[in-house]
Amino acid sequence: MSLINKALQFGGRTIPNRVVFQPMEGCDCQSDGTPGELTVKKYENAARSGAGLIWMEANAVCPEGRTNPGQMMLTEANLSAFRGFVASLKKIAKEECGIEPIIILQLTHSGRQSIVPMIAYRHPIYEEKRPVTDENIVSDEYLDTLAPLYVRSALLAKEAGFDGVDVKSCHGYLFQELLSAFTRPGRYGGSFENRTKLYLDCVKAVMDAVGNDILVVTRLGVADMVPKPYGFGTTENNELDLTESDMLIEKLMELGIRMLNVTIGNPYYNPHINRPFRLGAYNPPETAAEGLARFITVESHLKEKFPELVVIGSGLSYYREDLMEKAEEQLASGVCDLVGFGRGSIAYPMFYRDWLEGKFDPKKCCVACSKCTALMRNKCVSGCAVFNDYYKQLYKEKVACKK
């Protein structure tokens, strides 16, 4: 049997196969955070794709932590809508694929990328693109208020029928920025203990609150690839340095975390690190092969160092028509335990099911141009602007015309 199709027992649940729909924010929810028409469509596609794990996109734990007015946000007020949404996804997967996928909700505070930036410290590199002032620095007292908000969101997620929550720290959002807050004074900056405190406190608070009722997992940016003291997991010369990342993962494991969705880089600053490019206007400072090799280095290191940790691999969409072979190869060599597809899953949502049914069409695969990102950056709803006519037209009207 192909390794991709092999079920995985995790936290008392069964993940029916190794395919993960990675979180892909669509900025298409209603103003109160309820999934909108396009959101529902995307996840219905995910449900009928046969993927074993659907890692739902960034869901803000509070209104001021939203990146955009269309960001997902589960609250007491829209709980019943979410409950219906999750139940309908499970029903579709059961009816059409005969499986029950695990559905995880990603909990986030967008920090510097919030509508009004809420930053951990002054960052000369990021601020070249998005200027801020000292007024945007969040106080220790504000940070103290966040753990209960994560707990509230996690309990709501449980009520809504999610199988688990992701306490997210990656891509330059608030928790990730705190990991590199070397220059921040006070209780959340400076030492390793202070910089990791909020993330670990929130993981612990969520775990204590939900017990064994739902899974608690994490998506962690193990290296920002932004030079120290302005990046985590990176040296002053901008080289990978996983010393602190390992220390942090040890702490997460002490708290009981057993699944890590690995990511690297900051898509607002060095997008090629997180999503290697094949086509498009952006000219990355490294080859895609270098970027892909970094993922393998990081993931292999983690699997070796933490054999008990279930690792989800990222960055696979680049492989285009070879993505299933590469995924199988990575599983076979033990680089990761599950394989995550981001851009690839919105370009060709049925890729896995088609592959299972012998109908895989290489021409439908993601071309790794990241027009989906460009839509987001231009404050539009986001989707595949190559293979989906709706987003293709939107890209033409709102992005291409600016060039």
The correct pick among 15, 19, 20, 23 for binding ligand FMN (CB under 6 A) is 23
Distances in Å between the alpha carbon of 247 and those of 44, 251, 305? 38, 6, 11
Detail the DSSP E strand segments found in 11-77. Answer: 13-15, 19-21, 53-60
Is residue 372 at the binding interface for ligand FMN, with CB under 6 A as the rule?
yes
Among 315, 351, 360, 369, binds ligand FMN (CB under 6 A): 315
Residues 337-366 that bind ligand FMN (CB under 6 A): 341-344
Q: Which two tokens stand for residue 23?
A: 């979180």
Q: Which amino acid is at 256?
A: G
For ligand FMN, the closer CB: 108 or 234: 108
Site string for ligand FMN, 175-204 (x = CB under 6 A): ------------------------------
Contact 205, 148 (CB under 8 A): yes
What single DSSP character describes residue 187?
T
Instruction: Give the nearer residue to ligand FMN in terms of CB position, either 68 or 263.
Output: 263
Asked whether position 153 contacts ligand FMN by CB under 6 A, the answer is: no
Residue 124 CB, nearest approach to ligand FMN (Å): 25
Cβ 340 to ligand FMN shortest distance, Å: 6
- Which residue in 38, 47, 53, 58 binds ligand FMN (CB under 6 A)? 58
Residue 259 tokens read as 């699944």
Stretch in the footprint of ligand FMN (CB under 6 A) among 16-24, 82-90, 357-365, 394-402: 16-24
Closer CB to ligand FMN, 68 or 234, in the complex: 68
Q: Which positions from 88 to 107 touch ligand FMN by CB under 6 A, shown as an x/- string?
A: ------------------x-
- Say whether 57 sits in a helix, a strand or coil: strand
Give me the torsion for CA of 294, 374, 260, 214, rounded to 10°.
-170
By the 10 Å C-beta count (0-12 exposed, 13-18 middle, 19+ buried), 97 is classed as buried
> Alpha-carbon distance 201 to 203, whole Å?
6
Q: Which stretch binds ligand FMN (CB under 6 A): 28-36, 192-200, 225-233, 312-320?
A: 312-320
Size of the site for ligand FMN (CB under 6 A): 26
Does 19 sit near ligand FMN (CB under 6 A)?
A: no
| Alpha-carbon dihedral sign for residues 59, 38, 259, 290 | negative
Question: Segment contacting ligand FMN (CB under 6 A): 146-154, 210-218, 240-248, 310-318?
Answer: 310-318
229, 233, 238, 241 alpha-carbon torsion, rounded to 10°: 120
Q: Is 376 in the site for ligand FMN (CB under 6 A)?
A: yes
Q: Which of 318, 351, 352, 360 binds ligand FMN (CB under 6 A)?
A: 318
DSSP-derived letter for residue 26 is: -
Q: Checking phi first, is residue 234 left (phi over 0); if not, alpha (psi -120 to 50) or beta?
A: beta
Place of tokens 């439908």: 364
> Whose Cβ is closer to ligand FMN: residue 136's or residue 373's?
373
- Look at residues 323, 321, 190, 176 and name the one whose alpha carbon lies nearest to residue 263: 176
Which is nearer to ligand FMN, 194 or 264 (by Cβ)? 264
| Among 15, 20, 24, 61, interactor with ligand FMN by CB under 6 A | 24
- Give 189 or 335: the residue with its C-beta nearer to ligand FMN: 335
Does position 163 interact with ligand FMN (CB under 6 A)? The reply is: no
Which of 17, 22, 110, 245 is close enough to bind ligand FMN by CB under 6 A?
A: 22
Q: How far apart, in Å, are the Cα atoms of 5 and each of 54, 85, 268?
A: 15, 26, 34
Are the C-beta atoms of 237 and 254 separated by less than 8 Å?
Answer: no
Omega before 185 within 30 of 0, i.e. cis:
no
314 is an interface residue for ligand FMN by CB under 6 A:
yes
- The single-letter DSSP state of residue 10 is E
Q: Which residues bind ligand FMN (CB under 6 A)?
A: 22-25, 57-58, 106, 170, 219, 263, 274-275, 314-318, 341-344, 370, 372-373, 376, 382
